[in-house]
Structure 1
Amino acid sequence: MTKPVFFVTPGYGERLRQALHYSQAVRIGDRVETSGQGGWDDELRIPPSLEDEIAQAFRNVERTLETAGASWSDVVHVNSYHVGGFPPQVNETMAMLYRRYMPDHAPIWTQLAVAALGLPDMRIEIRVTAIIA
């Protein structure tokens, strides 16, 4: 059996590891699982625009995958969690970013509306599974 290896994203991941004692990703063999990635910057600030927050969450997923030796091209499953439901700009932005980050494949996707996320201003959190080919 392959031993799990945990990864902490430089910047915000180090801050969250210190404060809340969790890692941003785990790799087991060729499989990488991430914890939920919000649309925060390294100081855990959330942009005022929902579209900017979603775009930042995608960039944070990318950063976290890279720490574990993976990329968006390896992503096979996405879970997204949304505060405030699904106004049109949510799916429009998500679909645009899927096409940008994964132009050669479409992952499976589970999208959930939730009452709250880990930081008071968060409106999105994205968690992915990647299989490194």
Structure 2
Amino acid sequence: MNKPEFFVTPGYGERLSNGLHYSQAMKIGNRVETSGQGGVDDNLQIPESLADEIAQAFRNVERTLATAGAGWKHVVHINSYHVGGFPPEVNDVMVKLFRHYMPNHAPIWTEVGVAALALPTMRIEIRVTAITS
């Protein structure tokens, strides 16, 4: 059996790993699992605009996958967690970014409404599974 490898995203991931003792990604064999990636910058700041926060979360997923040798082209499963319900903007932005980052495939997706996320002003967190070969 393959041994799991754990990865920490440079920047915000290092801050979170040091403070909360967790990794952003784990690879075992050709499977990569990420922890939830929020729309934060390296200083844990969150954009005011919901669309910008979602876009930042997608970029953070991309950064995190890269630490484990994967990318959006390998993503097969997405869970997204949303505070504040699902106004039309949420799905509009999510689908636009799905098509941008994964133009050649449509992964499975579960969207979940939640009361709160790790930081008080966070409105989205995205967790993915990727298969690299």
Structures share a fold, TM > 0.5? yes
Q: Is structure 2 residue 21 aligned with structure 1 residue 21?
A: yes
Q: Note the 1:3-42 alignment, pairs <5 A.
A: 3-42=3-42
Q: Is structure 2 residue 96 aligned with structure 1 residue 92?
A: no
Q: Structure 2: how far apart are the matches of 1:119 and 1:4?
A: 28
- Gapped regions of structure 2 (runs ≥ 5): none
Amino acid at match of 2:77: H
The count of aligned residue pairs is 133
Q: Structure 2: how far apart are the matches of 1:17 and 1:125?
A: 17
Q: Structure 1: how far apart are the matches of 2:29 and 2:126?
A: 22
Q: Structure 2: how far apart are the matches of 1:124 and 1:9?
A: 18
Amino acid at match of 1:102: M
- Gapped regions of structure 1 (runs ≥ 5): none
Amino acid at match of 2:83: V
Query: 1:51: how far off?
Result: 0.1
Query: 1:53: how far off?
Result: 0.1
Give SS of 1:46's match: coil
Q: Structure 2: how far apart are the matches of 1:101 and 1:31?
A: 19
Query: 1:47: how far off?
Result: 0.2
Q: Structure 2: how far apart are the matches of 1:13 and 1:107?
A: 25
Residue number in structure 2 paired with 1:74 = 74
- TM-score, normalised on structure 1? 1.00
Amino acid at match of 2:70: A
Query: 1:14: how far off?
Result: 0.3
Residue number in structure 1 paired with 2:59 = 59
- Root-mean-square deviation (CA, aligned residues, Å) is 0.2
Residue number in structure 2 paired with 1:121 = 121
- TM-score, normalised on structure 2? 1.00
Percent sequence identity over matched residues? 75
Query: 1:59: how far off?
Result: 0.1
